[in-house]
Amino acid sequence: MTGNVRTENVLIEGTEFAAALTIRSDIGLLALHGSKEGGTAELAQEVAARTGAGCLVFTQPAGDPVHIPSHRMAVPHCEALREFLASVTVVVSLHGHLRPEFPRTIFLGGGNRAAASILADGLAPLAPPFDTVTDLAAIPSGLRGLHPRNPVNLARAGGVQLELPLSARTQRPEKVQGAPDLPPPTVTAALTAAVERLAADRPG
């Protein structure tokens, strides 16, 4: 399923972002830090295209990418974010972590715990080499995605924040300037199946 991509240039805390929005269905893939957390933008776009989900990806077109915390990305003047959140029921927000003690762990945070469980079941075929964690107590506090202003929690039914280790979101151990980060095909396929399962179950 295709959709028309609309891009909005928006300034957030002095940093210029390009927000690429595609409206399709009531499930939406979100990548807030597409330029900073390699592979998240590409994974969000590919999975959204395969599943017919909506998609919103933020990238930084100029300069060294900076990381603005998710809850501070929810600025009222970003029309693309407002439209995205109004069009979806559940958000699947993709992030990258570099926790050296968890090099193969995918954490599933966010406020919609029923959706997190469904996605975790769909990602189970990735084990090994990856394992998934849904127990909030076992997720590092900075990766839980529970802030009420985090966009993952602003849709009608909230959403799930997936924190992906580097090896789950790019096949490039070193960043190549100008080259896209290509997520591993196994991760793309598993997340596609997980989002399809989520769409079929539609948890509230």
Q: Inform me whether the pLDDT recorded for 128 exceeds 70.
A: yes
Report the CATH number at residue 112.
3.40.630.100
Count each helix (H run) and each strand (E run) in the chain, helices first.
5, 8
With bands split at pLDDT 50, 70 and 90, how would you rate the model's confidence at 177?
low
Cis status of the peptide bond prior to 129, with omega within 30 of 0: yes
Percentage, residues of the chain above pLDDT 70: 93
Q: What is each CA distance from 111 to 106, 116, 118, 159, in whole angstroms?
A: 16, 9, 13, 6
pLDDT in tens, 32-85: 999 999 999 999 999 999 999 999 999 999 888 999 999 999 999 999 999 999
What 3-state DSSP class applies to 131? Answer: strand
pLDDT of the residue at 1: 46
Of the listed ranges 22-26, 138-142, 178-182, the one predicted with least confidence: 178-182
How many domains does the structure of the chain reveal? 1
Residue ranges making up the domain that contains 30: 5-201
Q: Inform me whether the pLDDT recorded for 164 exceeds 60.
A: yes
pLDDT of the residue at 203: 54
